[in-house]
Amino acid sequence: MNPLRPRKSRHNSNYLYLLPAFIFYILFILYPLSDTVYTSFTQWSGIGEKTWVGLENYKNNLSDKKITSSIKHSFILIIFYSFFPIIIGLGIAGMMVRIKVKGMAIYRAILFLPQILSMIVVGIAWRWIYAPKGPLNSGLDFFGLNDISRAWLGSFDFALIAVGLIGTWVMFGFTMILFIAGVQKIPKELYDAAKVDGAGAFAEFFNVTLPGLKGEIVVALVFTVTLALRNFDLIYITTGGGPGTSTMIPSMFIYKKAFQMNQVGSASSLGVMLTLLIFTLISLIIITLREKR
Amino acid sequence: MKKVDQEKLIAHGLFIFGSIIVLYPFFSILFLALSEPGARISGFTIPTGVYFDNFLKAWTDGGFSLALWSSLIVVLGVVSITILCSIPAAYAFEKLSIKGASPLFALLLIGLVLPYESLIIPLYYSMRKFGLDSTYWSLILPQIGLSIPFSIFWLRSSFRSIPVSLSEAAMLEGASKLTILIKILLPQIKPAILTLTVLLFMWTWNEFLLALIMIQEPEMRTAPLALSYFAGNKRYGDPAITAAAAIWVALPVLIVYIFLQRRFISGMVTGVEK
């Protein structure tokens, strides 16, 4: 990189500043992405030639009940990862409009904790909570609710909900912090005006706080929905997709098909579908919430 | 009691309640890890004393001294190269004239929301083709690519906040573009670079899927990967040792977090907002 070049090539030399970053980006992001798209139209076991099959993999995915139900699981997880934390965060932020709490820095540091730790660590902590002799069952037994206690992560009926609640636990502190910070940016005059108009707490929340937090809500939705749809680490360490396929999600299928079942073409098509799903949902969130503004 | 006081009391109550919910799983595995080895533990047992045996056992049996070392190598590689490549790129996007800057930048934005899962298959086969699988490079190189979009994004907005007059004055004195970047602009965005370093450290440290696919040799496993193998093998064994292992893996990030928590929080909150 030499910025002291003759003046003629001055503008071309500017591109040199972009070069190193783009080399990495092209080699390790854009090229693999295009390769996945290509492989998704082929049948390939990982060795030998790829056989072009057109849309076959996609058709098979959409008619495979295990795969469609894994997408359904992802949408159920969105409720736990996204909607619950956002509702909790909004509720608390709505109450905090005029209250300045001392020691907020400490609360914030604690509430943010699940965000910084490896999902493998989080998963192991929760595996213990949900274990047959773990704290949850001990608590239920203590209150004489022995009938309810069970191996939560091994239960066909409860495993998905149990994993979902971990997601709520990971996310609720983040949405709280985000929304409380957002509320403080809403001009005080708006609240004063609402008060003059005789608005109660509910009217104040729906007319001032909620519209004022629109930007933060978009951010929280995009962040949490993306995580709910990917979510590989937590499922891998807690249930591995089981029992049966009751907690299977697309990213787990991608891993299993590509690296355990040698169905690389099929795994690639699932990868493309997951990417498209995430892009579509993010665009929908941004478009619908922006236009209402 | 005044109404304001009452409100504050309720607020504190809510925050304390939330904090307990967040902390409970961590304390429950901490108690588990500190319990007497071989003791029959159930969820409500209060530890009778503090024993570090489980921590020692996890350290030696699980090979966590090697795993922490592997993770450190990968983190150093990813963070340093990412930042070195992203600074000039962010500078060029914000302060230099580049034709086609907006489509190029838009191309980078794709990387911000792209799920990893769509890249791992070709990454695995390319790494194998070049003999890089089961080397640290197979973890470092892809994670640089993944970290670059956010880093350029983050640094570009930091450059934007520096008044133009600063660099213009230097330019009039005949300073070159590179000198302006190094001598004048970089000192201004030091805090932003530190925050970025902390975030990249955390994300790289916690990365799991890539390591799961690329690394076959036990002695090269990164910390989360070693933990998952350890927990998998001992699934029907001693949960106390697994708990101790989890704490070993969490500890480095936790220590950095205790000292720099403001940077983590402001970085992630403003980072995702941007």
Residue B262 belongs to a domain: yes
Q: Please state the rounded mean pLDDT for residues B87-110.
A: 90
Nearby residues of A12 by Cβ (< 8 Å), 6 or more positions away = none
CB pairs under 8 A between A and B: 282
Asked whether B74 and A2 are in contact (CB, 8 A), the reply is no
Same-domain status, B29 and B69:
no
pLDDT, one tens digit per residue, over B261-272 is: 888 888 777 776
Least confident of A134-148, B31-45, B111-125: B31-45
Over the range B212-221, which residues count as b (16 or more CB within 10 Å of their CB) and which as e?
bbbbeeeebb
Residue A102 corresponds to which tokens in the numbers above?
């001392």
Cα of B132 to nearest chain A Cα, Å: 13
Task: Give the up-direction half-sphere exposure of residue B169: CA atoms within 13 A in the CB hemisphere.
Answer: 8
pLDDT, one tens digit per residue, over B187-238 is: 989 999 999 999 999 999 999 999 999 998 888 999 999 999 988 865 446 7
* Residues spanned by the domain of B140: 63-273
Is residue B39's pLDDT more than 60?
yes
- What span, in angstroms and rounded, lies between the C-alpha atoms of B246 and B226? 10
Which of residues A7 and A185 earns the better pLDDT score?
A: A185
Residues in B touching A20 (Cβ below 8 Å): 84-85, 88-89
Same-domain status, B83 and B175:
yes
Residue A174 corresponds to which tokens in the numbers above?
């983040």
Residue B110 belongs to a domain: yes
Asked whether A36 and A242 are in contact (CB, 8 A), the reply is no
Residue A170 contacts B, CB cutoff 8 Å: no
Mind listing the domains of chain A with CATH numbers? Answer: 53-291 (1.10.3720.10)
Cα of B39 to nearest chain A Cα, Å: 13
Total number of domains constituting chain B: 2
Same-domain status, B202 and B101:
yes
Residue B165 belongs to a domain: yes
Residue A259 contacts B, CB cutoff 8 Å: yes
Local confidence band at A293 (pLDDT 50, 70, 90 cut-offs): very low
Q: Report angle CA A260, A263, A268 to the nearest 5 degrees.
A: 110
Interface residue of A17, A150, A284 to substitute, partner B, most B CBs within 10 Å: A17
Residues in B touching A142 (Cβ below 8 Å): 44
Cα of B42 to nearest chain A Cα, Å: 5
Residue B21 contacts A, CB cutoff 8 Å: yes
Residues in B touching A215 (Cβ below 8 Å): 273
Residue B179 belongs to a domain: yes
Same-domain status, B142 and B7:
no
Interface residue of B265, B266, B274 to substitute, partner A, most A CBs within 10 Å: B265
Q: What ipTM goes with this model?
A: 0.91
Q: Please state the rounded mean pLDDT for residues A116-132.
A: 93
Local confidence band at B274 (pLDDT 50, 70, 90 cut-offs): low
Q: What is the pLDDT of residue A4?
A: 47
Q: Please state the rounded mean pLDDT for residues A240-246.
A: 90
| Residue at which a domain ends, from B51, B75, B91 | B51
Q: For tokens 């795994």, name the residue.
A: A267
Interface residue of A124, A136, A236 to substitute, partner B, most B CBs within 10 Å: A124
Residue of A nearest to B25 (CA): A125
Q: For tokens 């996310």, name the residue.
A: A171
Asked whether B93 and A230 are in contact (CB, 8 A), the reply is no
